[in-house]
Amino acid sequence: MNRVPTTSRVLSCLAYLSILFLPVILPLIIWIADRQDRYVVRHAKLAFWSQIFPALYVLIALLMFFIMGASGVAQIRTAGGWIFGILTIIALLISLLLYIYNLAMAVGVLIKRQ
């Protein structure tokens, strides 16, 4: 049985829990700083991508909305509020699911399930 050191578990847990206090930045720092421990690197990568995904979604949705509006798509100009509202609700749902995922993964790492 492969035994993972306590420091690796704590760093991995902090990468996931950083969604509460320093999202995206702390997992990236852990990922870059601890290149030797593959366990920590794997969990830091997962935490980083799960925390950056909602930001990327919102950025892409806003760019799409503004580009379509600036290009003169009539449907965007008349129904822009609805489209923006739907994209915002989807972004909030994705963010909530990934928030719960990060908390569950942090607990899983600490109780040795991951």
- Per-residue pLDDT of the chain (114 residues), as tens digits, is 468 888 999 999 999 999 999 989 999 999 999 889 999 999 999 999 999 988 788 788 778 777 776 766 666 666 666 777 787 788 889 889 999 999 999 999 998 876
Give the position of tokens 């991951």.
114
Give the position of tokens 């794997």.
42
Which pTM value belongs to this model?
A: 0.80
Burial class of residue 75 in the structure, from the number of CB atoms within 10 Å of its CB (0-12 exposed, 13-18 middle, 19+ buried): exposed
Pair of tokens at residue 58 = 């919102």
E-strand ranges in 1-114 read none
Helix (H, G, I), strand (E, B) or coil at 98: helix
